[in-house]
Structure 1
Amino acid sequence: MVRIAASSDNHLDINRVDVDQVIQAEAQALTELHIDYYLIVGDVSNRFNRTLNYVDQLQAALPATQVFFVAGNHDMSHDISENELETLKHPNYLHNQYVDLPNMDWRIIGLNGWYDYGFAPDLPESEAAGFHFGRFYDRIIDQNESDLQRYQRAYEQLTQQLTAGATAHKRMIVMTHFVPISDDLLPNTAKPRELVNAMLGSPRTGMVLEQVPGVRHVVFGHAHVTAPMRQHGLVQYDNVSLGVRRRNDWPEATFMSSWKKRLKILEVNA
């Protein structure tokens, strides 16, 4: 049996936690839980170099656990270009890559992802783009194409990874930052909510995940909601985001108690 843990949207800088203490506490908890793989599903911090430093330090503190991460929109906002996000080679960075679990038919696939306004289908594209590049946090991310073009690239990457996994007869666990299903999104009853929903992900992601044989688990974040596991056909979806304390996202009073409560643990067998 292999034990896999996943967490997203820890926002270490926004939450103003002591990163060294968090690394020590998380390493101790993951070791005590006998975790073989720890998946960080984006939004560690607001600077990619800071995120990378955290991952490097956490991996060094976890000799018996393999750490993998993908980038969320906050990680993308500084210290990294759009091209570098696609081409970076780092042993813990799993964007558009996969790892096969030894002596098992399980594969972990990583993808940063993006959004195509699909969760706000009645919102004009020009209005959604105006919000993104005018007032939304992501306006500071390096981007030389439209959101629809950027999402299409991510969709094609995911499709290729899933097809390769199915061809290899793998059961697949997918980690991607952006939201693939609408189950827990608030309805588009007011313009502010509609604009935010447009930036959360795409229903096309969920559709392809459910169409390709072999996909069994999907862990994602970005939307700071506490929700139960959602089952679509053979695919289990878990939003593993922790979120921001000042917005009352945390389920407990402290960062570590909240992180432990929101940590998703999967057990897979050969």
Structure 2
Amino acid sequence: MDIPQTNWRIIGNNGWYDYSFSTYESNVEEVAQWKQAYWVDRPIVQPMNDPERMTIVLHQVEEKLKQARNQQKQVIFMTHFAPIREALPHPIVESARRQRMWEMTTAMLGSRHLGALLAKFPEVKVVFYGHLHYAQPLITVGNIEYRNQAVGVRHKNSEDWKGKSLLDQWISHLYTKKI
């Protein structure tokens, strides 16, 4: 979608994950088995595995970015899943079992390949993503601003949630930038 009276284009793609943030990236069958036991996406029926699905996403995004380049548009990219490793939390993991659980979870958080693709296009200036459920500060990698627009999760004793209501919290996390 082009923003009227500007040279900005918003490109959106829900994205997916391909295990590339995990040390289990090459163990597709093992991650898929873990996913079927524990992950919220387990009931989704698809005719391919997750890395194959992400390959389709990458192709779709690349085509849209090439179109934007050819039409000399600057790009705001929006996706659900994390596109860069820098966005992921870095928990202290105390046991081999917990490390395995963390690596399996990390496998489903997004794709480093999406971040690498976005970095190939200097037209991409801002990326909005989610999926991680907690509010984060701005992350800049190269010339791209990465913004997780999550409003946070309301937990007792959480520093993440300061609003009295969801609306208050949402308003406090709005971001505007003159373009």
Question: The TM-score by the shorter chain falls in which range?
Answer: 0.7 to 0.9
AA partner of residue 150 (structure 1):
R
Indicate yes or no: 2:172 matched with 1:261: yes
Task: Please state if 1:218 is matched with 2:127.
Answer: yes
**Residues 60-106 of structure 1: per-residue CA shift (max 9 Å, x gap):** xxxxxxxxxxxxxxxxxxxxxxxxxxxxxxxxxxxxxxx11122111
**1:107 touches 1:173 (CA, 8 Å); kept in 2?**
yes
* 8 Å CA contact 2:24, 2:104 repeated in 1: no
Runs of 4+ in 1 over 6 A off after TM superposition: none
Tell me the residue number matched to 1:18.
Answer: none
Q: Deviations over 1:197-255 (max 9, x none)?
A: 11010011111111112110100000122221111121110011124435856343421
**SS of alignment partner, residue 213 of structure 1:** coil
What is the distance in 2 between the residues matched to 1:267 and 1:173?
Answer: 13
Q: Does 1:152 align with 2:55?
A: yes
- Listed one character per residue, the Cα deviations across residues 12-46 of structure 1 (whole Å, up to 9, x for unaligned) are xxxxxxxxxxxxxxxxxxxxxxxxxxxxxxxxxxx
* Range with bigger deviation, 240-249 or 177-186: 240-249
Deviation of 1:156 (Å): 0.6
Task: Report the aligned-residue RMSD.
Answer: 1.9
| Counterparts of 2:105 and 2:152, CA distance in 1 | 16
Aligned length: 170
Q: Secondary structure at the match of 2:85?
A: coil
Find the counterpart in structure 1 of residue 7 from structure 2: 105
Is residue 186–residue 193 contact of structure 1 (8 Å, CA) maintained in 2?
no
* Deviation string, structure 1 residues 147-169 (Cα, Å, up to 9, x no partner): 01111111110111111111111
- Partner of 2:96 in structure 1? none
| SS of residue paired to 1:101 | coil
TM-score normalized with structure 2 length:
0.86
The correspondence for 2:17, drawn from 112, 115, 134, is: 115
The gaps in structure 1 that reach 5 residues or longer are 1-98
Code of the residue aligned with 2:171 in structure 1: it is K
Amino acid at match of 1:125: V
| Equivalent-residue separation in structure 1 for 2:135 and 2:110 (angstroms) | 17
Contact 1:187 1:193 in 2 (8 A): no
CA gap of 1:241–1:168, structure 2 versus 1, over 3 A, is same
Distance 1:176 1:229, change over 3 A: same
Q: Which runs of 5+ in 2 are unaligned?
A: 94-98
Q: Distance in 2 between matches of 1:141 and 1:253?
A: 35
Q: Which residue of 2 aligns with 1:49?
A: none
Residue type at the aligned position of 1:221: G
Does 1:202 pair with 2:105?
A: no
1:101–1:107: 8 Å Cα contact kept in structure 2? yes
Trace 1:156-175 onto structure 2 (pairs within 5 A). Answer: 156-175=59-78
Tell me, what secondary structure is at the counterpart of 1:174? strand
Aligned to 2:42: 139
Q: Distance in 1 between matches of 2:171 and 2:30?
A: 39
